[in-house]
Amino acid sequence: MRKRVVTIILMMTAAMMLLLGGCGQQVTATLEDLAADNPDIVKTIQEQITTPEGMSSEVSFSGDSFDITFKFNDAIDDSDEKVLVEAFGKNSETLKSGFESAIADLETETGITGITGTVHIFNASGEETWSHEFPEKE
């Protein structure tokens, strides 16, 4: 699971870098504006995300933030859900450097500062069971 989440972050970064790298000038719009002006950005990123079997995923933007949301397709046992939530929490430190590096690259490419990203996990009934924002607030 940890490897998949790290892969997701790296793929998302690569997609954004490829899409924005050829612009030739820094963009003053928000990430949300960029996505609204070019729906292919969201589509390309979504195609690059490795979604674990039994889950769906999506990418969304709000201002200078982006969210990667995963949702279980089917209900899982409460004890299994608890184990997964604990695993995500333990792996957040592993994700930190990759996610923060991706954000730094996005800021460099777009000229936008203060970008944040959040990973969300929802159970099949639509309740958020875990989320983590990067960069981490001190």
Q: What is the pLDDT of residues 22-41, one digit of tens each?
A: 454 544 689 898 878 877 76
Q: Give the CATH class of 2-134.
A: alpha beta
Q: In this predicted model, what pLDDT tens digit does every residue of 62-104 receive, in sequence order?
A: 999 989 898 999 998 888 888 877 877 787 777 787 778 778 8
Residues near 62 by beta carbon (within 8 Å), at least 6 away in sequence: 32
Report helix, strand and coil shares of the chain as percent, to nearest 5: 50, 20, 30
| Rounded Cα gap, residues 54 and 19, in angstroms | 29
| Rounded Cα gap, residues 103 and 112, in angstroms | 10
Provide the whole-model pTM: 0.70
**Contact status, residue 130 vs residue 69, Cβ threshold 8 Å:** no
| Rounded Cα gap, residues 23 and 64, in angstroms | 18
| Rounded Cα gap, residues 34 and 86, in angstroms | 35
